[in-house]
Amino acid sequence: MNWMHGAWAVFEKDVRLELRSRYAINMLLMFVLAALLLVLFALGQTPVSARVQAAVLWIVILFSGAVGLGRSFISEEERGTVLLLQLNTHGSMVYAGKLLFNFVLVLVLNLVAVAAFVVLLSVAVPLPGLLLTTLGLGALGLAGATTLLAAIIARTANRGPLLPVLLFPLLVPLLLSVVSATRAALPGGAGWAGAQDELLTLVGFAGVVITASVLLFDYVWND
Partner 1 sequence: MNAPSTRKPAIDLRRYRFVRAAVGVWMTGVIGFAFLRDIPSLEILEHTARNLYFHVPMWFTMMAAVIVAAYHSARYLATDDPVRDVRAEQAARVGFVFGLLGILTGIVWARFTWYVGQGIWWNFDPRQTMVAVFLLIYGAYFTLRSSIDEPTRRARVAAVYNLFAAATMPFLTYVVPRQMPSLHPGAEGSPAFSETDLAPVMRPIFYAAIIGFIVLFWVIYTQRVRTALLEEELEENPL
Provide the phi-psi class of 185: left if phi over 0, else alpha when psi is between -120 and 50, else beta: alpha
The stretch among 74-82, 120-128, 181-189, 215-223 that binds partner 1 (CB under 8 A) is: 215-223
> What radius of gyration do the chain's Cα atoms show?
18
User: Site map for partner 1, 89-128, x if CB under 8 A?
Assistant: ----------------------------------------
152, 190, 203, 214: which one binds partner 1 (CB under 8 A) = 152
Give the closest residue to 201 by CA, choosing from 179, 182, 169, 173. Answer: 173
Contact 216, 155 (CB under 8 A): no
Binding residue (CB under 8 A) for partner 1 from 10, 66, 148, 178: 148
- Please say whether the beta carbons of 168 and 62 come within 8 A: yes
Query: CA torsion angle for 175, 177, 179, 183 (degrees, to 10)?
Result: 180
Q: Which is nearer to partner 1, 88 or 156 (CB)?
A: 156
Alpha-carbon distance values, 25 to 30, 70, 188 (Å): 8, 13, 34
The four Cα atoms 111, 114, 117, 119 give a dihedral, to 10 degrees, of -70
Q: According to the binding rule CB under 8 A, does residue 162 interact with partner 1?
A: yes
| 205 near partner 1, rule: CB under 8 A | yes
> What is the spatial distance between Cα 176 and Cα 198, in angstroms, rounded to a whole number?
8
The binder of partner 1 chosen from 4, 168, 188, 191 (CB under 8 A): 168
Show contacts with partner 1 in window 170-199 (CB under 8 A). 170, 172-173, 176-177, 180, 197-198
Among 149, 150, 178, 181, binds partner 1 (CB under 8 A): 149
Task: Catalog residues that contact partner 1 under the rule CB under 8 A.
Answer: 145, 148-149, 152, 155-158, 162, 165-166, 168-170, 172-173, 176-177, 180, 197-198, 201, 204-205, 208-209, 211-213, 216, 219-220, 223
